[in-house]
Amino acid sequence: MANSLLNQDQLRAVARLFDLLAEPTRLDILQNLKKKPLSVGEIVNATNAKQANISKQLGILHDAGLLRRERRGNLVFYSIDDPMIFDLCALVCGKLRKDAESRLAAVRSLGR
């Protein structure tokens, strides 16, 4: 796939994934679930967001196939269903870090 162009359906799927990850609360949820499954209440506490918003975002992430949910008694626990998402996040974070380092080097060179 590295050397082939994506068709329109594939491009739309990629755009949907990036659109899904463009919401900071969703990224915060994913980040908190990286270590272990959490209940909705634990996610609310970890993110300091309102429960209604967390529930909405969890539903979106689950429907997209990024999370799995498991009922334990009267609690629902969420976990990462597709760890590939962290590879993508690492690539984006690496790019942001490289860009920041370049900007810092440029500012430092102006100060000389």
Give pLDDT tens digits along the chain (112 positions).
Answer: 566 899 999 999 889 988 999 999 999 999 999 999 999 999 999 999 999 999 999 999 999 999 999 999 999 999 999 888 888 878 887 888 888 888 888 888 887 6
Same domain assignment for residues 90 and 56: no
Q: 24 is written with which tokens? A: 């900071």
17 and 67: one domain?
yes
Determine the Cα–Cα distance for residues 17 and 66; give it in Å rounded to an integer: 10
Both 87 and 36 in one domain: the answer is no
Q: What is the pLDDT of residue 2?
A: 60
Same domain for 41 and 96, yes or no, is no
Containing domain of residue 103, as a range? 82-112
Q: How far is CA 40 from CA 69, 70, 76, in A?
A: 10, 11, 6
